[in-house]
Amino acid sequence: MSDDPFRRDLSATLAAIEGMLGELPGDVAKQIRHKLKDIREILVERRAPRFVLVGRRGSGKSSLVNALYGERVAEVGHVKAQTGAPRWFTYDRDEGQLDFLDTRGFQEAHRPEEADDAATALESILLELEKKSPDAVLFLVKATEVGAAIDGDLDETETLLERLRRKHGVGLPLVCVITQCDLLEPKDVTLHAPDAFEPRDLQEKRERVKHVERLVEDQVRQRPGLRDHFVASIGISAYQSWRDDGSRRSDQRWRVDDLVSFLFERLPQQARMELVRVARVQHLQRKMAKSLTTLVASMCAGLAATPIPVGDIGPLTSLQVALVVAIGYVSGRDPSPETAREFLGAIGVNVGIGFAFRETARALVKFIFPGAGNLVSASVAFAGTWAVGSAAIAYFIDGVSIEEARRRWRLARATEGDDESPREPQLPEKTKGSPAEGERDDS
Protein backbone atom coordinates (compact mmCIF):
# COMPACT_ATOMS: atom_id res chain seq x y z
CA MET A 1 0.00 0.00 0.00
CA SER A 2 2.99 2.21 -0.29
CA ASP A 3 1.57 3.12 -3.67
CA ASP A 4 -0.72 6.05 -3.25
CA PRO A 5 -2.91 5.21 -6.25
CA PHE A 6 -4.42 2.47 -4.10
CA ARG A 7 -5.41 4.89 -1.41
CA ARG A 8 -6.61 7.44 -3.92
CA ASP A 9 -8.83 4.90 -5.67
CA LEU A 10 -10.16 3.51 -2.43
CA SER A 11 -10.85 7.02 -1.24
CA ALA A 12 -12.79 7.72 -4.46
CA THR A 13 -14.78 4.50 -4.07
CA LEU A 14 -15.67 5.34 -0.48
CA ALA A 15 -16.61 8.87 -1.47
CA ALA A 16 -18.84 7.56 -4.26
CA ILE A 17 -20.58 5.18 -1.88
CA GLU A 18 -21.02 7.96 0.62
CA GLY A 19 -22.43 10.20 -2.08
CA MET A 20 -25.11 7.68 -2.86
CA LEU A 21 -25.97 7.22 0.76
CA GLY A 22 -26.98 10.85 0.75
CA GLU A 23 -30.14 9.80 -1.04
CA LEU A 24 -30.97 7.10 1.43
CA PRO A 25 -32.88 7.62 4.62
CA GLY A 26 -32.67 5.66 7.79
CA ASP A 27 -30.53 3.44 9.91
CA VAL A 28 -28.84 1.43 7.19
CA ALA A 29 -27.30 4.54 5.67
CA LYS A 30 -26.21 5.72 9.10
CA GLN A 31 -24.55 2.41 9.91
CA ILE A 32 -22.79 2.32 6.58
CA ARG A 33 -21.56 5.86 7.09
CA HIS A 34 -20.00 4.84 10.40
CA LYS A 35 -18.22 1.95 8.79
CA LEU A 36 -17.08 4.10 5.90
CA LYS A 37 -15.48 6.44 8.39
CA ASP A 38 -13.68 3.58 10.13
CA ILE A 39 -12.46 2.09 6.85
CA ARG A 40 -11.28 5.51 5.71
CA GLU A 41 -9.38 6.11 8.93
CA ILE A 42 -7.71 2.73 8.94
CA LEU A 43 -6.84 2.41 5.26
CA VAL A 44 -6.91 5.79 3.58
CA GLU A 45 -5.63 7.92 6.45
CA ARG A 46 -3.07 5.35 7.55
CA ARG A 47 0.05 6.98 8.95
CA ALA A 48 3.11 6.30 11.07
CA PRO A 49 2.54 6.13 14.82
CA ARG A 50 4.29 8.97 16.67
CA PHE A 51 6.14 8.33 19.89
CA VAL A 52 7.93 10.74 22.18
CA LEU A 53 10.91 9.07 23.79
CA VAL A 54 11.89 10.36 27.22
CA GLY A 55 14.98 8.83 28.74
CA ARG A 56 18.53 9.57 29.60
CA ARG A 57 21.42 8.94 27.33
CA GLY A 58 22.07 5.23 27.40
CA SER A 59 18.60 4.33 28.66
CA GLY A 60 18.04 2.37 25.48
CA LYS A 61 15.99 4.65 23.23
CA SER A 62 17.80 3.73 20.03
CA SER A 63 17.82 0.07 21.01
CA LEU A 64 14.07 0.19 21.49
CA VAL A 65 13.58 1.54 17.97
CA ASN A 66 15.68 -1.34 16.67
CA ALA A 67 13.77 -3.79 18.84
CA LEU A 68 10.49 -2.70 17.28
CA TYR A 69 11.86 -3.21 13.78
CA GLY A 70 13.89 -6.28 14.57
CA GLU A 71 16.60 -4.60 12.52
CA ARG A 72 19.38 -2.13 12.93
CA VAL A 73 17.76 1.13 11.92
CA ALA A 74 19.07 3.42 14.67
CA GLU A 75 22.64 3.88 15.85
CA VAL A 76 23.12 2.41 19.29
CA GLY A 77 25.48 3.51 22.01
CA HIS A 78 26.49 6.86 20.65
CA VAL A 79 28.48 8.44 23.43
CA LYS A 80 28.62 11.80 21.75
CA ALA A 81 25.77 14.06 22.83
CA GLN A 82 23.61 15.12 19.95
CA THR A 83 23.39 18.84 19.40
CA GLY A 84 20.62 21.07 18.16
CA ALA A 85 16.95 21.07 19.09
CA PRO A 86 15.12 17.74 19.14
CA ARG A 87 13.21 17.00 15.95
CA TRP A 88 10.71 14.43 14.83
CA PHE A 89 12.49 11.67 13.02
CA THR A 90 10.81 9.26 10.64
CA TYR A 91 12.25 5.79 10.21
CA ASP A 92 11.10 5.07 6.70
CA ARG A 93 11.76 1.48 5.71
CA ASP A 94 10.18 -1.16 3.54
CA GLU A 95 8.99 -2.67 6.82
CA GLY A 96 7.01 0.48 7.52
CA GLN A 97 7.24 3.90 9.09
CA LEU A 98 7.55 4.96 12.70
CA ASP A 99 7.97 8.54 13.95
CA PHE A 100 10.01 9.32 17.03
CA LEU A 101 10.86 12.46 18.90
CA ASP A 102 13.95 11.72 20.95
CA THR A 103 13.95 14.28 23.75
CA ARG A 104 17.66 13.59 24.16
CA GLY A 105 17.79 13.60 27.87
CA PHE A 106 16.40 17.09 28.43
CA GLN A 107 15.82 15.85 31.93
CA GLU A 108 19.53 15.41 32.47
CA ALA A 109 20.03 19.10 33.15
CA HIS A 110 19.29 19.23 36.85
CA ARG A 111 22.22 21.17 38.09
CA PRO A 112 21.33 24.81 38.76
CA GLU A 113 23.69 26.16 36.14
CA GLU A 114 21.90 24.02 33.59
CA ALA A 115 18.37 24.91 34.60
CA ASP A 116 18.11 27.40 31.77
CA ASP A 117 19.11 24.74 29.31
CA ALA A 118 16.44 22.41 30.60
CA ALA A 119 13.80 25.11 30.23
CA THR A 120 15.00 25.87 26.72
CA ALA A 121 15.03 22.20 25.84
CA LEU A 122 11.46 21.80 27.08
CA GLU A 123 10.32 24.79 25.04
CA SER A 124 11.93 23.46 21.89
CA ILE A 125 10.33 20.05 22.44
CA LEU A 126 6.93 21.65 22.87
CA LEU A 127 7.46 23.69 19.74
CA GLU A 128 8.27 20.53 17.79
CA LEU A 129 5.21 18.78 19.19
CA GLU A 130 3.05 21.52 17.75
CA LYS A 131 4.12 20.48 14.26
CA LYS A 132 2.94 16.93 14.76
CA SER A 133 1.01 15.81 17.77
CA PRO A 134 2.28 12.61 19.35
CA ASP A 135 0.27 9.46 20.01
CA ALA A 136 2.09 8.37 23.17
CA VAL A 137 4.97 9.16 25.47
CA LEU A 138 7.44 6.40 26.30
CA PHE A 139 9.40 6.91 29.48
CA LEU A 140 12.53 4.76 29.41
CA VAL A 141 14.60 3.83 32.43
CA LYS A 142 17.22 1.16 32.97
CA ALA A 143 16.13 -1.64 35.25
CA THR A 144 19.27 -1.15 37.31
CA GLU A 145 18.59 2.57 37.83
CA VAL A 146 15.01 2.45 39.01
CA GLY A 147 14.45 4.25 42.31
CA ALA A 148 14.68 7.74 43.73
CA ALA A 149 17.13 8.60 40.96
CA ILE A 150 14.31 8.89 38.44
CA ASP A 151 12.39 11.52 40.42
CA GLY A 152 13.93 14.36 38.45
CA ASP A 153 13.14 12.64 35.18
CA LEU A 154 9.55 12.17 36.24
CA ASP A 155 9.36 15.86 37.19
CA GLU A 156 10.28 16.81 33.66
CA THR A 157 7.88 14.31 32.16
CA GLU A 158 5.11 15.67 34.35
CA THR A 159 5.85 19.21 33.19
CA LEU A 160 5.87 18.08 29.57
CA LEU A 161 2.55 16.27 29.84
CA GLU A 162 0.94 19.13 31.76
CA ARG A 163 2.03 21.67 29.20
CA LEU A 164 0.77 19.47 26.38
CA ARG A 165 -2.56 18.99 28.07
CA ARG A 166 -2.98 22.70 28.66
CA LYS A 167 -2.12 23.44 25.08
CA HIS A 168 -3.97 20.71 23.22
CA GLY A 169 -6.36 19.43 25.82
CA VAL A 170 -5.27 15.87 25.22
CA GLY A 171 -4.26 13.32 27.81
CA LEU A 172 -1.46 11.42 26.11
CA PRO A 173 -0.89 7.83 27.15
CA LEU A 174 2.30 7.34 29.16
CA VAL A 175 4.00 3.97 28.91
CA CYS A 176 6.94 3.31 31.23
CA VAL A 177 9.49 1.05 29.62
CA ILE A 178 12.00 -0.53 31.94
CA THR A 179 14.91 -1.46 29.75
CA GLN A 180 17.78 -3.89 30.17
CA CYS A 181 15.84 -6.28 32.40
CA ASP A 182 18.20 -8.98 31.15
CA LEU A 183 20.87 -7.35 33.32
CA LEU A 184 18.97 -7.87 36.56
CA GLU A 185 20.17 -10.65 38.85
CA PRO A 186 20.58 -13.53 38.35
CA LYS A 187 22.39 -12.26 35.31
CA ASP A 188 23.21 -15.61 33.81
CA VAL A 189 19.53 -16.56 33.62
CA THR A 190 18.43 -15.41 30.19
CA LEU A 191 14.84 -14.29 29.88
CA HIS A 192 14.69 -14.61 26.10
CA ALA A 193 15.84 -18.24 26.18
CA PRO A 194 14.43 -19.63 29.41
CA ASP A 195 14.49 -23.35 28.63
CA ALA A 196 17.93 -24.08 29.99
CA PHE A 197 17.17 -22.81 33.48
CA GLU A 198 15.53 -24.11 36.57
CA PRO A 199 12.03 -22.78 37.11
CA ARG A 200 12.94 -21.31 40.50
CA ASP A 201 15.82 -19.35 39.00
CA LEU A 202 13.62 -18.02 36.25
CA GLN A 203 10.99 -17.24 38.80
CA GLU A 204 13.49 -15.24 40.82
CA LYS A 205 14.44 -13.14 37.84
CA ARG A 206 10.87 -12.54 36.79
CA GLU A 207 10.03 -11.47 40.33
CA ARG A 208 12.77 -8.88 40.15
CA VAL A 209 11.35 -7.57 36.92
CA LYS A 210 7.91 -7.34 38.51
CA HIS A 211 9.41 -5.56 41.46
CA VAL A 212 11.01 -2.80 39.37
CA GLU A 213 7.84 -2.48 37.32
CA ARG A 214 5.89 -1.91 40.51
CA LEU A 215 8.43 0.60 41.82
CA VAL A 216 8.12 2.70 38.70
CA GLU A 217 4.35 2.41 38.64
CA ASP A 218 4.11 3.52 42.29
CA GLN A 219 6.28 6.53 41.62
CA VAL A 220 4.17 7.51 38.65
CA ARG A 221 0.88 7.03 40.46
CA GLN A 222 1.98 9.31 43.28
CA ARG A 223 2.02 12.20 40.84
CA PRO A 224 -1.26 13.88 40.01
CA GLY A 225 0.15 15.09 36.71
CA LEU A 226 1.12 11.60 35.57
CA ARG A 227 -1.39 9.30 37.18
CA ASP A 228 -4.14 9.86 34.62
CA HIS A 229 -1.78 9.32 31.73
CA PHE A 230 -0.34 6.08 33.02
CA VAL A 231 -1.00 3.03 30.87
CA ALA A 232 1.57 0.43 31.84
CA SER A 233 4.96 -0.16 33.34
CA ILE A 234 6.66 -2.93 31.46
CA GLY A 235 10.06 -4.50 31.77
CA ILE A 236 11.75 -5.57 28.57
CA SER A 237 15.03 -6.52 27.04
CA ALA A 238 15.75 -4.81 23.74
CA TYR A 239 19.19 -6.20 23.20
CA GLN A 240 20.25 -7.28 19.73
CA SER A 241 23.74 -7.25 18.34
CA TRP A 242 24.95 -7.02 14.78
CA ARG A 243 28.10 -7.89 12.92
CA ASP A 244 29.92 -5.37 10.79
CA ASP A 245 28.34 -6.85 7.68
CA GLY A 246 24.92 -6.01 9.07
CA SER A 247 23.85 -9.54 9.92
CA ARG A 248 22.38 -10.10 13.35
CA ARG A 249 24.62 -11.88 15.81
CA SER A 250 22.14 -12.27 18.60
CA ASP A 251 18.58 -11.46 19.48
CA GLN A 252 17.89 -11.20 23.19
CA ARG A 253 14.62 -9.35 22.95
CA TRP A 254 12.14 -10.16 25.64
CA ARG A 255 8.54 -8.88 25.99
CA VAL A 256 8.86 -6.33 23.23
CA ASP A 257 5.68 -7.93 21.83
CA ASP A 258 3.84 -7.14 25.04
CA LEU A 259 4.98 -3.56 24.83
CA VAL A 260 3.71 -3.39 21.26
CA SER A 261 0.33 -4.73 22.43
CA PHE A 262 -0.01 -1.96 25.01
CA LEU A 263 0.90 0.65 22.42
CA PHE A 264 -1.46 -0.84 19.85
CA GLU A 265 -4.43 -0.55 22.19
CA ARG A 266 -3.74 3.13 22.79
CA LEU A 267 -3.11 4.23 19.23
CA PRO A 268 -5.67 5.97 17.06
CA GLN A 269 -6.99 3.79 14.23
CA GLN A 270 -4.91 5.67 11.66
CA ALA A 271 -1.65 4.57 13.25
CA ARG A 272 -2.40 0.97 14.14
CA MET A 273 -1.73 -0.82 10.86
CA GLU A 274 1.71 0.62 10.56
CA LEU A 275 2.77 -0.44 14.05
CA VAL A 276 1.47 -3.94 13.51
CA ARG A 277 3.25 -4.21 10.17
CA VAL A 278 6.58 -2.97 11.53
CA ALA A 279 6.57 -5.00 14.73
CA ARG A 280 5.29 -8.23 13.15
CA VAL A 281 3.45 -9.41 16.21
CA GLN A 282 1.40 -12.22 14.76
CA HIS A 283 -1.52 -12.16 17.16
CA LEU A 284 -1.92 -8.43 16.57
CA GLN A 285 -1.67 -8.89 12.82
CA ARG A 286 -4.46 -11.43 13.07
CA LYS A 287 -6.52 -9.22 15.35
CA MET A 288 -6.17 -6.24 13.04
CA ALA A 289 -6.97 -8.34 9.96
CA LYS A 290 -10.02 -9.89 11.62
CA SER A 291 -11.48 -6.62 12.73
CA LEU A 292 -10.94 -5.18 9.26
CA THR A 293 -12.65 -8.22 7.78
CA THR A 294 -15.64 -7.82 10.06
CA LEU A 295 -15.80 -4.14 9.29
CA VAL A 296 -15.64 -4.53 5.52
CA ALA A 297 -17.98 -7.54 5.55
CA SER A 298 -20.61 -5.74 7.56
CA MET A 299 -20.33 -2.72 5.32
CA CYS A 300 -20.81 -4.92 2.27
CA ALA A 301 -23.85 -6.41 3.97
CA GLY A 302 -25.15 -2.93 4.67
CA LEU A 303 -24.66 -1.92 1.07
CA ALA A 304 -26.47 -4.99 -0.15
CA ALA A 305 -29.40 -3.98 2.03
CA THR A 306 -29.79 -0.72 0.16
CA PRO A 307 -31.31 -0.17 -3.25
CA ILE A 308 -27.85 0.71 -4.54
CA PRO A 309 -27.16 -1.94 -7.19
CA VAL A 310 -23.95 -3.16 -5.62
CA GLY A 311 -24.17 -6.72 -6.79
CA ASP A 312 -23.37 -6.11 -10.36
CA ILE A 313 -21.20 -3.07 -10.53
CA GLY A 314 -18.20 -3.91 -8.50
CA PRO A 315 -18.09 -2.06 -5.18
CA LEU A 316 -18.21 -5.35 -3.34
CA THR A 317 -15.36 -6.66 -5.44
CA SER A 318 -13.46 -3.41 -4.96
CA LEU A 319 -13.92 -3.54 -1.21
CA GLN A 320 -12.86 -7.17 -1.13
CA VAL A 321 -9.77 -6.33 -3.18
CA ALA A 322 -9.02 -3.52 -0.74
CA LEU A 323 -9.44 -5.95 2.15
CA VAL A 324 -6.96 -8.38 0.64
CA VAL A 325 -4.46 -5.59 -0.06
CA ALA A 326 -4.81 -4.41 3.53
CA ILE A 327 -4.38 -7.86 5.06
CA GLY A 328 -1.33 -8.42 2.89
CA TYR A 329 0.05 -5.10 4.09
CA VAL A 330 -0.53 -5.90 7.75
CA SER A 331 1.33 -9.17 7.22
CA GLY A 332 4.42 -7.27 6.07
CA ARG A 333 3.92 -7.80 2.36
CA ASP A 334 2.78 -5.24 -0.12
CA PRO A 335 0.35 -6.73 -2.62
CA SER A 336 -0.92 -4.46 -5.38
CA PRO A 337 -4.63 -4.44 -6.19
CA GLU A 338 -3.73 -6.57 -9.23
CA THR A 339 -2.01 -9.15 -7.02
CA ALA A 340 -5.00 -9.10 -4.69
CA ARG A 341 -7.33 -9.75 -7.62
CA GLU A 342 -5.13 -12.64 -8.69
CA PHE A 343 -5.33 -14.00 -5.17
CA LEU A 344 -9.12 -13.74 -5.25
CA GLY A 345 -9.21 -15.48 -8.60
CA ALA A 346 -6.92 -18.23 -7.32
CA ILE A 347 -9.09 -19.02 -4.31
CA GLY A 348 -12.15 -19.16 -6.51
CA VAL A 349 -13.84 -15.80 -6.13
CA ASN A 350 -15.48 -14.69 -9.33
CA VAL A 351 -13.76 -11.38 -9.94
CA GLY A 352 -14.00 -11.50 -13.68
CA ILE A 353 -17.16 -9.51 -13.97
CA GLY A 354 -16.15 -6.86 -11.48
CA PHE A 355 -14.92 -3.57 -12.80
CA ALA A 356 -11.31 -2.68 -12.45
CA PHE A 357 -10.68 -1.06 -9.12
CA ARG A 358 -10.35 2.47 -10.38
CA GLU A 359 -13.42 2.15 -12.55
CA THR A 360 -15.63 1.50 -9.60
CA ALA A 361 -16.25 5.04 -8.51
CA ARG A 362 -17.21 6.08 -12.00
CA ALA A 363 -19.37 3.02 -12.47
CA LEU A 364 -21.15 3.69 -9.24
CA VAL A 365 -22.12 7.16 -10.26
CA LYS A 366 -23.33 5.94 -13.62
CA PHE A 367 -25.55 3.33 -12.08
CA ILE A 368 -27.49 5.34 -9.60
CA PHE A 369 -31.08 5.13 -10.55
CA PRO A 370 -34.06 4.47 -8.36
CA GLY A 371 -35.40 1.01 -7.94
CA ALA A 372 -32.48 -0.68 -9.64
CA GLY A 373 -32.61 -3.39 -7.08
CA ASN A 374 -29.93 -5.62 -5.78
CA LEU A 375 -28.44 -8.78 -7.06
CA VAL A 376 -26.72 -9.77 -3.86
CA SER A 377 -28.37 -10.31 -0.52
CA ALA A 378 -26.98 -8.84 2.66
CA SER A 379 -26.11 -12.20 4.17
CA VAL A 380 -24.40 -13.39 1.00
CA ALA A 381 -22.44 -10.15 0.82
CA PHE A 382 -21.41 -10.61 4.42
CA ALA A 383 -20.49 -14.28 4.20
CA GLY A 384 -18.67 -13.79 0.90
CA THR A 385 -16.56 -10.95 2.23
CA TRP A 386 -15.96 -12.69 5.53
CA ALA A 387 -14.73 -15.76 3.64
CA VAL A 388 -12.38 -13.64 1.53
CA GLY A 389 -10.92 -12.08 4.68
CA SER A 390 -10.48 -15.47 6.33
CA ALA A 391 -8.70 -16.87 3.30
CA ALA A 392 -6.42 -13.81 3.11
CA ILE A 393 -5.57 -14.12 6.81
CA ALA A 394 -4.75 -17.80 6.35
CA TYR A 395 -2.57 -17.09 3.34
CA PHE A 396 -0.77 -13.88 4.29
CA ILE A 397 -0.57 -14.14 8.06
CA ASP A 398 -0.64 -17.86 8.82
CA GLY A 399 1.36 -18.65 5.71
CA VAL A 400 -0.77 -21.49 4.32
CA SER A 401 -0.59 -22.48 0.65
CA ILE A 402 -2.93 -21.02 -1.93
CA GLU A 403 -4.73 -24.38 -2.16
CA GLU A 404 -5.30 -24.34 1.58
CA ALA A 405 -6.47 -20.72 1.37
CA ARG A 406 -8.97 -21.81 -1.24
CA ARG A 407 -10.19 -24.57 1.04
CA ARG A 408 -10.55 -22.09 3.90
CA TRP A 409 -12.52 -19.77 1.68
CA ARG A 410 -14.96 -22.53 0.79
CA LEU A 411 -15.20 -23.59 4.40
CA ALA A 412 -15.77 -20.06 5.68
CA ARG A 413 -18.64 -19.59 3.28
CA ALA A 414 -20.15 -22.92 4.19
CA THR A 415 -19.94 -22.28 7.92
CA GLU A 416 -21.70 -18.97 7.76
CA GLY A 417 -23.52 -18.47 11.04
CA ASP A 418 -21.35 -20.94 12.95
CA ASP A 419 -19.92 -19.82 16.21
CA GLU A 420 -16.59 -19.69 14.44
CA SER A 421 -17.53 -16.70 12.39
CA PRO A 422 -19.00 -13.45 13.59
CA ARG A 423 -22.65 -12.94 13.01
CA GLU A 424 -23.91 -10.68 10.39
CA PRO A 425 -24.83 -7.46 12.12
CA GLN A 426 -28.52 -6.88 12.68
CA LEU A 427 -29.72 -4.67 9.92
CA PRO A 428 -33.15 -3.21 9.53
CA GLU A 429 -35.50 -4.73 6.99
CA LYS A 430 -34.21 -4.63 3.50
CA THR A 431 -35.33 -1.71 1.46
CA LYS A 432 -37.69 -2.83 -1.24
CA GLY A 433 -36.40 -3.48 -4.69
CA SER A 434 -34.08 -6.29 -3.70
CA PRO A 435 -34.66 -9.82 -4.77
CA ALA A 436 -34.79 -12.67 -2.33
CA GLU A 437 -31.76 -13.75 -0.40
CA GLY A 438 -29.35 -16.02 -2.17
CA GLU A 439 -30.88 -15.50 -5.57
CA ARG A 440 -27.54 -14.70 -7.03
CA ASP A 441 -24.13 -14.92 -5.52
CA ASP A 442 -21.43 -12.70 -6.87
CA SER A 443 -19.82 -11.80 -3.63
Ligand X SMILES: Nc1nc2c(ncn2[C@@H]2O[C@H](COP(=O)(O)OP(=O)(O)O)[C@@H](O)[C@H]2O)c(=O)[nH]1
Q: Count the site residues for ligand X by CB under 6 A.
A: 17
Q: Count the site residues for Mg ion by CB under 5 A.
A: 2
Q: Which is nearer to ligand X, 51 or 357 (CB)?
A: 51
Q: Establish if 60 lies at the interface with ligand X (CB under 6 A).
A: yes
Q: Which is nearer to Mg ion, 179 or 219 (CB)?
A: 179
Contact 241, 63 (CB under 8 A): no
Q: Establish if 107 lies at the interface with Mg ion (CB under 5 A).
A: no
- Part of the chain binding ligand X (CB under 6 A), chosen from 147-155, 233-241, 300-308, 404-412: 233-241
What does each C-alpha distance from 25 to 13, 174, 230 come to in angstroms?
20, 43, 43
- Part of the chain binding Mg ion (CB under 5 A), chosen from 59-67, 111-119, 223-231, 300-308: 59-67
Q: Which of residues 239-268 bind ligand X (CB under 6 A)?
A: 239
CB of 291 to ligand X, least distance (A): 31
Q: Establish if 298 lies at the interface with ligand X (CB under 6 A).
A: no
- Part of the chain binding ligand X (CB under 6 A), chosen from 157-165, 234-242, 263-271, 397-405: 234-242
Q: Which is nearer to ligand X, 78 or 168 (CB)?
A: 78
Q: Which is nearer to ligand X, 239 or 343 (CB)?
A: 239
Q: Establish if 66 lies at the interface with Mg ion (CB under 5 A).
A: no
Q: Which of residues 110-169 bind ligand X (CB under 6 A)?
A: none
Q: Establish if 86 lies at the interface with ligand X (CB under 6 A).
A: no
Contacting residue, 57, 72, 163, 410, with ligand X by CB under 6 A: 57
Closest residue to Mg ion: CB criterion: 62
CB of 61 to ligand X, least distance (A): 3
Q: Which is nearer to Mg ion, 86 or 328 (CB)?
A: 86
Q: Establish if 59 lies at the interface with Mg ion (CB under 5 A).
A: no
Contacting residue, 40, 46, 50, 61, with ligand X by CB under 6 A: 61
Q: Establish if 62 lies at the interface with Mg ion (CB under 5 A).
A: yes
Name the site residues for ligand X (rule: CB under 6 A). Answer: 55, 57-63, 76-77, 179-180, 182-183, 237-239
Residues of the shown chain interacting with Mg ion in the complex, contacts defined by CB under 5 A: 61-62
